[in-house]
Structure 1
Amino acid sequence: MLSLENLVVKYGNVEALHGIDMEVAEGEIVSVLGANGAGKSTTLMGISGLVKPASGSIVFEGTPIHTLPAHKIVEMGIAQVPEGRRVFGTLTVSENLRLGAFTSRDRNRDARTRDWIFSLFPILKERRRQLAGTLSGGEQQMLAIGRALMAHPRLLLLDEPSLGLAPLIIKAIFETIREINSSGVTVVLVEQNARAALRLAHRGYVLEVGKVVLADTAESLLANPEIHSAYLGHGA
């Protein structure tokens, strides 16, 4: 479904990604792990067109997308949930969701998707007239995911969905991600909570300073002593 080949991304003279290769098959949850500064968020922003590669390619369902503007990539079926949620705080929950469907021309489909989102996150239906800025952190994360789903993505990019949330909320968010995937949406998950991410994912990639250093099944990565020491131990 998605292929990154020899992808190089630079910020000015600083090279953030040093020629990474990555593949995502339809129906998978693929986790991207790594320390802060490893290039995880840059990878997602490259896929969604928010940063342009210096070289290399990104191919989605057989079509190169690395030269396309971000809104065209959304129209093709890729949506991103950004780190930090970035909801529009002065707009209501319903208005935030409508903004997620800005590329859609099918209002009936939008209504069905909104109802599905409300079934995934019932609290959003209760708070649909409430300003997003007054929601709790967990509710804002639910809204950010719902806003991305309003674009009817076939590929959903999630950047640190558990950041700053309480354990019970994290568990609920991850269960919902599994449900979204079961509905037919492929997921790429960037997540500091490596154990939870690998328990959810089918496969994983490990980035270090802009390079892929490990790629394996999630089960194998969970059992890998190096991964356990670096990301799953008490000191991680």
Structure 2
Amino acid sequence: MTTLLEIRNLHVSYGNVEALHGIDLAVEAGEIVTILGANGAGKSTALHAVSGLLRPTGGEILFDGQPLHRLPAHRILRAGISQSPEGRRVFGTLTVRENINLGAYTVRDQALAAKNRKWIYELFPRLEERQHQLAGTLSGGEQQMLAIGRALMSRPRVLLLDEPSLGLAPLLVQAIFQTIREINAAGVTVLLVEQNARAALRLAHRGYVLELGHITVSGPADELLADPQVRDAYLGGA
């Protein structure tokens, strides 16, 4: 397998406070990799550094062997990395279709944009049904579908997902995670930040556990599910 995304000795600070203390992480092409950890561990910080929303204070981020860490966010998106943010961040006063189209602002080819939109509606039929509805009137689950759909409009090679299950009922979480599996099967590599550790490890190929800005455990997802340390800390000891 080819390493598509690589983080080497990454340091990220907010002012004088360092949030990531030199983490290393790799994502192979075609994988789903999850980052687990408690609130404040640095999970979202890691994603924001990859997507260009935060500038690292040290280390490297490589995409297909090319350095990303000095590029602005819009160049990273053009390179093939797209993010669905924590909290969904849909534009409530725009329609579902308008929100989706915003995700295509780097796509010059209108036929390609139409093809991508068709694919998103196949993944999330509810969005097609509600395409003329204002995004602010959607349920939480539908807004999460919309946030993921918008991120897919640029047909990224890597999709960054930040807490997709947050605030959703268990059945909806199951549906969203099944769709993430389908997105991955369509050739999109996924880096997932998720507090629902059990669901994330059942979905992912590999995982990393982040604690206070350090990676403490990493390995295949099934090994992490069986690891007593991970089980006690993140899986309720079950």
Q: TM-score, normalized by length of structure 2?
A: 0.98
Map 1:73-222 to 2 at 5 A.
73-222=76-225
Q: Deviations for 1:76-110, whole angstroms, at most 9, x for unmatched residues?
A: 00000000000001100010011000111011111
SS where residue 143 of structure 1 aligns? helix
How much does 1:36 deviate? 0.4
Query: What letter matches 2:28 in structure 1?
Result: A
| Structure 2 residue 231 is the aligned partner of structure 1 residue 231 | no
Q: What fraction of aligned residue pairs are identical, expressed as a percent?
A: 67
Q: Deviations for 1:51-90, whole angstroms, at most 9, x for unmatched residues?
A: 0000100000111010000000000000000000000011
Over the aligned positions, Cα root-mean-square deviation in angstroms equals 0.8
SS where residue 20 of structure 2 aligns? strand
Aligned equivalents of 1:42, 1:147: Cα separation in 2: 21
Q: How many aligned residue pairs are there?
A: 235
How much does 1:234 deviate? 6.1
Query: What letter matches 2:236 in structure 1?
Result: G
Structure 1 residues not aligned, in runs of 5+: none
Aligned equivalents of 1:22, 1:202: Cα separation in 2: 14
| Structure 2 residue 5 is the aligned partner of structure 1 residue 2 | yes
Q: Deviations for 1:117-174, whole angstroms, at most 9, x for unmatched residues?
A: 1011101001000000010000000000000000110000000000000111100000
Q: TM-score, normalized by length of structure 1?
A: 0.99
Residues 5 and 62, structure 2, Cα contact 8 Å, conserved in 1 = yes
Aligned equivalents of 1:234, 1:216: Cα separation in 2: 19
Structure 2 residues not aligned, in runs of 5+: none
SS where residue 98 of structure 1 aligns? helix
SS where residue 114 of structure 1 aligns? helix
SS where residue 9 of structure 1 aligns? strand
Provide runs of 4+ in structure 1 moved above 3 Å.
Answer: none
Correspondence for 1:45: 48
Query: What letter matches 2:227 in structure 1?
Result: N
